[in-house]
Amino acid sequence: MIKKVKEAIKKYRMLEPGDIVVVAVSGGPDSLALLKVLEMLSIEYRLTLIAAHLNHGLRLEADQEAQFVHEISKKMGIEFECKTVDINFLRKGTGKSIEDIGRDERYLFLNDVAKRHHAHKIALGHNLSDQVETVLINFLRGSGPGGLKGMLPVRDSLYIRPLLYINRTEILSFLEFHKIQFLRDRSNTEDIYLRNRIRHLLIPELKAKYNPKLDEKLSIMAEIMRVEDDYMETLIGKILSEWGSEPDNNDEVRIRISELRKYHEAVQKRIIKNILRRSTPNSQGMGYAHIKAVQDLAYSNDPSGHLNLPYNAVVRREYDFLFFSRGIRFEGDIVKKKCDQIFYEVTLPGSVNIAELGKRMIFDLIKPPVQIKSSEKNTVYMDYDKILLPMIIRTGKPGDSIQLLGMKGTKKIKSYFIDGKIPLNRRKDIPLLVDQESVIWITGMRISERVKITEKTRRILKVEIV
């Protein structure tokens, strides 16, 4: 295992002699294996290590876990840094899930420790098994190369993952050989989370019935995607630089459509994606539907038009130019031109900000029983196990239908709106919640019979619009 780690360090230039390295240590098997491996390599690479542990304050044993990591670090002669945060308190009012808040706080803490110690690298304990799970999650969500490349061995020349090509079985054998105890996170056994279901159910099924070398094959695919994605990003950066397509004083980018259309469709989409993601937090939030809408605008026979996109982003066309800007919303016949496309992927539990409508949709997983009030139009409860994940929040499209609560057959969404005498200009403000089979909620109105709660329901999805 040490040999494989050293090969990865060399191949991706993770470490340089004399580096100061902050090691993220939760107390689980992966992070303790990472700490031990780096401790064993510290003389060869002349490393200075700092073990960093964030106490999330979520479990009664959290303080004991922090003390456990402290003692392990002390035995290895490694400096220890710890911080305690109240994740539940920090989550209030944010609309984010506990997992999202926890991840944000971990990176803030690790960056702070690295800054105070003038560290060169931050080492994370993600392994090959984590990589396989990540790739499968992104695949199920319909990701492109950027998602299928999985986690990077080195990110931003700061974060390194020395164990990324070591599987979980190798890590456990390594810990047993060196007689290193570790902690187990009970939440990793709960199949309410998508990653856990993939780990415990999907991957064993794929290995047993389809490909016993799944880890190896998906790792190779992720590496191919990483290299090709890196090439595409380099190419797009070069093209935009040649075009001089940097934001001006008004934070606006302009590109010439005739120049855009000279390139392959894949390059066109990547150029549009690159510009759009500048308007989003953490360069995320613009999906395929948004990119395709901009491309359609560029190919339209109409020399003018505009798109109102998430995060207050606006794209407008003026003859041979596309203008990308933020903060100015356009009104007009957006629906007829298919210019206003709402499209958000749902992560459970968590929330989605629907920027176009100034609303937020909150998703929580709860256990029965629950009291349902007929007057609550903006809150619904569904049988979680009847939903075919992933879920999407989007505007309606031709052919959409729903099996209304209490009905045997299905009804077209368009017919439902007509029967309800809902004006055309209002329909764009009523997003649909859909799973992989059909519409399951016409927001603020009706849910699907298919996902209704029964006496057999074991897990409930609560969805609320605020």
- What torsion, rounded to 10 degrees, do the Cα atoms 388, 393, 399, 404 define? 70
The CATH number for 253-341, chosen from 3.30.70.141, 3.10.560.10, 2.160.10.10, 3.30.465.60, is 3.30.465.60
- What torsion, rounded to 10 degrees, do the Cα atoms 231, 236, 242, 244 define? -150
What whole-number distance in Å separates Cα of residue 268 and Cα of residue 174? 47
Tell me: pLDDT of 387 over 50.
yes
Tell me: pLDDT of 195 over 70.
yes
Q: Percentage of the chain with pLDDT > 70?
A: 91
Collapsing DSSP states into helix, strand and coil, what is residue 448?
strand
Tell me: pLDDT of 330 over 70.
no
Q: Percentage of the chain with pLDDT > 90?
A: 62
Partner residues linked to 58 by β-bridges: none
**Whether 22 contacts 54, CB under 8 Å:** no
What whole-number distance in Å separates Cα of residue 440 and Cα of residue 306? 30
What whole-number distance in Å separates Cα of residue 340 and Cα of residue 291? 12
What whole-number distance in Å separates Cα of residue 132 and Cα of residue 408? 41
First CA to last CA distance, the chain: 50
**Whether 125 contacts 163, CB under 8 Å:** yes
What whole-number distance in Å separates Cα of residue 87 and Cα of residue 107? 14
Phi/psi at 105 (5° precision)? -65, -35
pLDDT tens-digit profile of 256-308?
Answer: 999 999 999 999 999 999 999 887 766 677 888 899 999 999 999 988 888 88
**Whether 203 contacts 132, CB under 8 Å:** yes
447 Rama sector, left if φ>0, alpha if ψ -120 to 50, beta otherwise: beta
Task: Give the mean pLDDT of the chain.
Answer: 88
pLDDT reported for residue 414: 92
**Whether 230 contacts 12, CB under 8 Å:** no
**7 compared with 57, residue with greater pLDDT:** 7
Superfamily of segment(s) 344-465 = Phenylalanyl-trna Synthetase, Chain B, domain 3 (3.50.40.10)
Cβ-based neighbour number of residue 3 at 10 Å: 7
Residues ≥6 apart with Cβ < 8 Å to 403: 409, 410, 411, 438, 448, 449, 450
Fold equal for 2-222 and 253-341: no
pLDDT reported for residue 257: 95
What's the topology of domain 2-222? Answer: Rossmann fold (3.40.50)
DSSP letter for each residue of 161-209: -TTTTS-HHHHHHHHHHTT------GGGG-TTSHHHHIIIIIHHHHHHH
Task: Identify the weakest region by mean pLDDT among 17-21, 278-282, 344-348.
Answer: 278-282
Domain ranges of the chain: 2-222, 253-341, 344-465
What whole-number distance in Å separates Cα of residue 380 and Cα of residue 378? 7
**345 compared with 179, residue with greater pLDDT:** 179
- pLDDT interval class at 83 (50, 70, 90): very high
Phi/psi at 348 (5° precision)? -110, 140
The pLDDT of 198-221, averaged and rounded, is 94
**90 compared with 126, residue with greater pLDDT:** 126
Cβ-based neighbour number of residue 297 at 10 Å: 22
